[in-house]
Each structure stands twice: as structure tokens, then as C-alpha cells.
Structure 1
Amino acid sequence: MKTQGILSLKAILIGLLVLTSGTVAMAQTDEMGNSKVVSHDEMASLNWMACPAPLDVAGCHITVLHGDPTKPNSDILFKLEPGASVPRHWHTSAERMVMISGEMEVTYDGEETQSFKPGTYAFGPSNKPHVAKCKEGGDPCVLFIGFEEPVDSYVKSE
């Protein structure tokens, strides 16, 4: 079993995501201390915005689920349209990720390309450059990402 990289842990994810029923249950509290749940069917109606620079490529969108991305501990959904890709980049924060829909290929520097499919859990180390591409001809790639530190991205030249 790998200690780094990508692990498909559907049994563990059942408590986090109920993918088989078409419901994504991401509970967190709102500003009033109330819980918040976003179903899979509600994802299209979320406030999606273009990815900020330097990841402002065509077909890249994000929405904030919880927290303030300029502060520690925020959760986002990251969406790439089929065929879209993001350049080689890195984040100051580690990333805890769960693939919700689509199929995404992700390559971290010095590692083999991994395929994220619905139900895949991944941990991305801080400051480790990587690229991502959503598979063509399929569903949009929607990835839940929990950041430990404020959300940032830096393009890493080849």
C-alpha cells in the first residue's frame, strides 16, 4: 500500500460522500454555526467562478463550500470541463481531495500519472508541483479540496 500518492478508498469515503445515491453530503457549519449540506443535484446551482490567476484557463471553475479561502481551513469544489487542463503549479497548503465526478489525470513531479475517478481520495503535499487534465469525452471533473492553509496557486515553470 502506498503511503503517498493516490488511494481509492471507497469504503472509507462512504462516511464522507454517498456517491452511489447521487448525494454528496459535505456537512460543515455556516456563519451562524448551523450545518450545511450540498447535494450532488445542487452542485450546478452553486456560485461557480472562473479559477483565479494563475490557473485562469478556459474550462476551470471553483466554488467555495466552507470558510474563507484567504484563511486556514477552507473547502472548495474545483471543476474542469472535459479536455481542460491546468498548468504545472503548486500550493503552499497540502490538499485533501475527493473526486466527485469525471476522470482526471494528475501528475506530481517525480511520480507516475494517477487517474482520479469518482470516489478516489488523494493527498497532495504542500509545495509539490503538479499538473491536471480532465479526460475528454466524459463528464466535467469535479474535485472536492480541503486546504489546511490559505488557498493559493503558483505556476511552476518547466
Structure 2
Amino acid sequence: MRSLILISVTAAALATGQARAQDTEPVNGQARALAWAHDDPSLEWGPCPEFLPEGCALVVLHGDPDGSDADIFFRVPGGASIARHRHTAAERMTLVSGRLRITYDGHDPIDLTPGMYAYGPAGLPHEGECAPGPDCVLFIAFDGPVDAIEVEGGDAGHGP
């Protein structure tokens, strides 16, 4: 049996999980150029879906998380496990800090170190492990709505 929980990043959640709003507003009708560091103390991190580990947080850096294009930082504590889940949209990720192992169903585990890129196809279940030590922070660009859907059971088998 498989249980699904859909958690969408909504406007209410964004109240505490977004970059400074004044820094994302257009100027003279033109999109504003942006730059963020994952450790910027002015970022307003918000909570993750309940099935993800305690201490998990995210912040929307740019775009509409309910729309077709959004960029986020996603943070999990060192030593934490990321429960098996999937996303409606594909995700393009770069690890910013920590060491993270991601395992997509039917694939060998991927060990990410800072600066490494990974692509996750829409709908493909996966799970993760942040190595003990520094928090794992991922920059993730979604090509659709930002969501996480818990997937229980199934086979997280490795290899094609």
C-alpha cells in the first residue's frame, strides 16, 4: 500500500519562507537582478512538510512556487534522513553545503558534495541522507509547482 501526502508551498507558508519581498519586486517594470547566499541572516526560512526531518527549512528565492518556475534553498540538518518522496515538477539541484546522498528509485545512489549538480525527473520517488556534520543546503530550481509528495512503501532499489 502506498500513502501520498501532497504539500504545496502556499502563500500562507511563504509568509515565513521567502526572500525579502522588497528585493524581488520589479523595478520600472523590469525584473530585479538577485543574489543570495545560503547563510544570509536576512533570509526568512519557513518550515518543510511534516514528513521531512525536524530542523528542515526552505526559502523561496525567486519565482512563484505555485506556478511554473521557482528557485529555492532547501536545508536539512547534518545526520538527517530525507523520507522517500516525489515532486510534480522536475528539479535541478546544486548542493551548496554539506554532503548529501540521494537515491532515486531504480538508480544507484548519488553522492553530492558542494558544487555538484543533480537532476531529478518529475514524479520519480527518491530519498536522501545528509552526512553527519554541516547542514545540507540545496539550491533547487523547479520547472513547475514546488511540492513534496510523501511516498511510502515501494522499492527504492538501486541500479537500472
Q: Which has the larger Rg?
A: 2
Deviation at 1:31, TM superposition (A): 2.3
Equivalent residue, structure 2, for 1:74 = 70
Equivalent residue, structure 1, for 2:35 = 37
- Which of 125, 142, 147 is matched with 1:147 structurally? 142
Partners of 1:76 and 1:105 lie apart in 2 by 19
Equivalent residue, structure 1, for 2:157 = none
Contact 2:98 2:134 in 1 (8 A): yes
Partners of 2:74 and 2:112 lie apart in 1 by 13
Gaps of 5+ in 2: 1-22, 154-160
Deviation at 1:83, TM superposition (A): 1.0
Instruction: Work out the number of aligned pairs and report it.
Output: 127
Counterparts of 1:101-116 in structure 2 under 5 Å?
101-116=97-112
Contact 2:97 2:136 in 1 (8 A): yes
Partners of 1:59 and 1:41 lie apart in 2 by 15
1:85 is matched by which residue type in structure 2? S
Contact 2:38 2:137 in 1 (8 A): no
- Which of 39, 43, 46 is matched with 1:46 structurally? 43
2:128 is matched by which residue type in structure 1? A
Contact 1:54 1:153 in 2 (8 A): no
SS in 2 for 1:119: coil
SS in 2 for 1:45: coil
Contact 2:89 2:145 in 1 (8 A): yes
Counterparts of 1:4-19 in structure 2 under 5 Å?
none
**How well do the aligned residues superpose, as a CA RMSD in angstroms?**
1.5
Gaps of 5+ in 1: 1-28
Deviation at 1:53, TM superposition (A): 3.9
Deviations 1:36-60 (Å, cap 9, x if unpaired)?
Answer: 1113552x431111102443x2021
Contact 2:38 2:73 in 1 (8 A): no
In the superposition, relative to structure 1, how do residues 123 and 101 fare at CA in structure 2: closer, same or farther (>3 Å)? same
Identity of aligned residues (%): 44
